[in-house]
Amino acid sequence: MRILVVEDEAEIAAVIVQQLRAEGFGVDLAGTVAEARFHADVHPYDAIVLDRRLPDGEGGRLCDEWRSAGVEAPILMLTALDATAEVVAGLEAGADDYLTKPFATEELIARLRSLLRRRPTRRHDAIVAGALRIETARRRVRRDGVIVPLTTKEFALLAFLADRAGEVVERLDILEHCWDHAYEPGSNVIDVHVAALRRKLGAEAIETVRGAGYRLADGS
């Protein structure tokens, strides 16, 4: 999943981005309203972390603007303003949740996961594909009933394919949702992770559709 973090305080932004990437999310960072608009116009994000006060504008107004434009991604608003009226204003602008500074990054991640679970998607709690059982809510996979340890990025890739089980998923879609601008254009990062998943789950687990992308095999 890909997250947009809109935060102008460099130290706070760095901690949030580092922790989210450690959890397997693709993360893009914007420090201004203008940068946030640009990113949101280019990429469909799974969730947005939005600071209330930005150098060139107000996060609440940007949130309202996105909602009016049809942006449906869950928005978690950050602010140092904890007065009830401020919280209400943020929620009425379209935010799904509100977290006041200072905060623990563990709580921010837990709140994001909660928002993502509530978001209407095609994802099921568990998807069975051949010998694999992919438990998306628990973030684990079993092969023939045995839990297979995966890295956070390996699981993110597998879960993305599982969410589209039976479909051919293009490489660009995988990059858009599982990575961010931190990867090098033209790199073989997808191939490396697909190869790692095949070693752990079986060569037949993920099909390569030449010229198109990848598909999670159904075992049939």
Q: What is the pLDDT of residue 183?
A: 58
Q: Where are the domains of the chain?
A: 2-118, 126-216
Distance CA 68, CA 155 (A): 34
Q: Is 41 helix (H, G, I), strand (E, B) or coil?
A: helix
Start-to-end Cα distance in the chain: 28
Q: What is the pTM of this model?
A: 0.62
Fold exhibited by the domain 2-118 = Rossmann fold (3.40.50)
For the cut 70, the answer to whether the pLDDT of residue 28 exceeds it is yes
Q: What is the pLDDT of residue 185?
A: 55
For the cut 90, the answer to whether the pLDDT of residue 156 exceeds it is no
Distance CA 39, CA 19 (A): 20
For the cut 70, the answer to whether the pLDDT of residue 124 exceeds it is no
Specify the DSSP element, H or E, that contains 37: helix 33-42
Over residues 180-203, mean pLDDT: 80
For the cut 70, the answer to whether the pLDDT of residue 72 exceeds it is yes
Average pLDDT, the chain: 85
Could you tell me which residue, 81 or 152, shows the higher pLDDT?
152
Reported confidence tier of residue 32, pLDDT bands at 50, 70, 90: very high
pLDDT exceeding 90 applies to what percent of the chain?
35
Which residue stretches of 120-207 are H helix? 152-163, 171-178, 189-201
Reported confidence tier of residue 15, pLDDT bands at 50, 70, 90: very high
For the cut 60, the answer to whether the pLDDT of residue 93 exceeds it is yes
Could you tell me which residue, 79 or 14, shows the higher pLDDT?
14
Over residues 105-124, mean pLDDT: 77
**Contact assessment for residue 28 and residue 39, using Cβ atoms and an 8 Å cutoff:** yes
Distance CA 199, CA 132 (A): 14
* Dihedral angle sign, alpha carbons of residues 67, 60, 118, 38: positive
Q: What is the pLDDT of residue 181?
A: 59
- Asked if the 126-216 domain carries CATH number 1.10.10.10, the reply is yes
Distance CA 136, CA 154 (A): 13
Q: Give the model confidence (pLDDT) of 128-153 as tens digits.
A: 888 888 887 677 899 998 999 988 88
Q: 78-82, 97-101, 108-112 — which is least confidently predicted?
A: 78-82
Over residues 177-199, mean pLDDT: 78
Over residues 189-201, mean pLDDT: 90
**CA 20 to each of CA 16, 77, 112, 117, 203: distance values in angstroms, whole numbers, following the listed order:** 6, 16, 10, 16, 30
